[in-house]
């Protein structure tokens, strides 16, 4: 495996690529679908718990994996993360031969604010993905008639207008060509209201676009893989029931993209598989 870091834009955003190189023993999956991950962090930071562990989990399931650490804090102004996300998708497509990626099989996967970004680039980016995975995605950062949202101020500026607010209220932007969406959250999440997740699903249903939705009854915000390795040392952040979201998302992705081809070929008949020991 190769790990490659590439600067995106001029504000310090970095795309990390985790590339599995071809092997003659796995010739049928020499080129793979890709998953581009956007960690959460309220557009103030990029969470480590929602970055490399997610990439490695998808890597183990046969995908090329990427993590974008996008601009946050004062560098997020002017919707900078949206441009960086779009540029990252374009770069993966442009380097699809070098990085052994199927350019028409690129999914984005985001958590919390990263889920907002994943949905945002899927609906409004110059370069859009082919599928979208949202984990407790904060897809409504501002509504026209509500008090100004602190995260929306980072993206739109302190004096954003009700019309500006519509640009980050993402259910308003679902259309008849939005990419398929897999979304999951928990009913107990107190930071991202489950109703915002349901609103995205309602918008997909209204637009007759494919989606899959899983709302787990229990669980705090920020569960990541919901496994001990990403639990922040807390019992509440490891939940075997919620952890099933990842395997379900993998199955969903293969249903969108098609599974690797298999043939009924005897092991000893595969050319070059068994080395010549003479």
Confidence at 278, pLDDT banded by 50, 70, 90: very low
How far is it, in rounded angstroms, from Cα 77 to Cα 81? Answer: 9
pLDDT tens profile 54-100: 999 999 999 999 999 999 999 999 999 999 999 999 999 999 999 99
161 Cβ contact partners less than 8 Å away, ≥ 6 residues apart: none
How far is it, in rounded angstroms, from Cα 76 to Cα 71? Answer: 5
Degrees to nearest 5, angle at CA 112 with 40 and 201: 145
Q: How far is CA 86 from the centre of its chain?
A: 13
In DSSP terms, 101 is beta-bridged to 32
Higher pLDDT, 142 or 102: 102
* pLDDT surpasses 70 at 197: yes
Higher pLDDT, 71 or 273: 71
- Residue 36 is encoded by which pair of tokens? 């581009």
Start-to-end CA distance of the chain, whole Å, equals 30
Q: What is the mean pLDDT of residues 250-274?
A: 81
* pLDDT surpasses 80 at 210: yes
10 Cβ contact partners less than 8 Å away, ≥ 6 residues apart: none
Phi, psi of 104, deg, nearest 5: -100, 15
Q: Please report the pLDDT score of residue 274 as a whole number.
A: 60
Tell me the whole-structure pTM to 2 decimals: 0.93
Q: What is the mean pLDDT of residues 175-184?
A: 98
In the chain the domains, ranked by start, together with CATH numbers, are 2-269 (3.40.50.1820)
């Amino acid at each position: 495996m190769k790990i490659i870091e590439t600067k995106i834009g001029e504000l310090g955003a970095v795309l990390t690529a985790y590339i599995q190189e071809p092997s003659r023993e796995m010739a049928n999956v020499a080129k793979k679908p890709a998953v581009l991950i956007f960690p959460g962090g309220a557009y103030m930071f990029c969470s480590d718990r929602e970055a490399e562990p997610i990439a490695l989990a998808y890597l183990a399931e046969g995908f090329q994996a990427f993590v974008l650490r996008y601009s946050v804090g004062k560098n997020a102004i002017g919707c900078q993360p949206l441009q960086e996300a779009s540029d990252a998708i374009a770069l993966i497509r442009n380097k699809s031969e070098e990085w052994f990626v199927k350019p028409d099989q690129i999914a984005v996967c985001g958590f919390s604010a990263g889920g907002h970004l994943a949905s945002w680039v899927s609906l409004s980016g110059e370069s859009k993905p082919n599928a979208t995975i949202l984990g407790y995605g904060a897809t409504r950062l501002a509504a026209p008639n509500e008090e100004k949202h602190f995260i929306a101020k980072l993206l739109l500026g302190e004096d954003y207008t009700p019309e500006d607010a519509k640009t980050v209220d993402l259910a308003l932007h679902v259309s008849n060509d939005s990419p398929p969406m897999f979304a999951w959250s928990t009913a107990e999440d107190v930071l991202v209201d489950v109703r915002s997740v349901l609103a995205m699903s309602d918008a997909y249903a209204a637009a007759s676009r494919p989606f899959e939705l899983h709302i787990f009854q229990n669980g705090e915000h920020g569960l990541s893989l919901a496994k001990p390795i990403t639990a922040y040392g807390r019992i509440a952040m490891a939940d075997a029931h919620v952890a099933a979201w990842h395997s379900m998302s993998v199955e969903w992705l293969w249903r969108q993209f098609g599974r690797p081809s298999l043939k009924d070929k005897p092991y000893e008949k595969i050319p070059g598989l068994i080395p010549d020991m003479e």
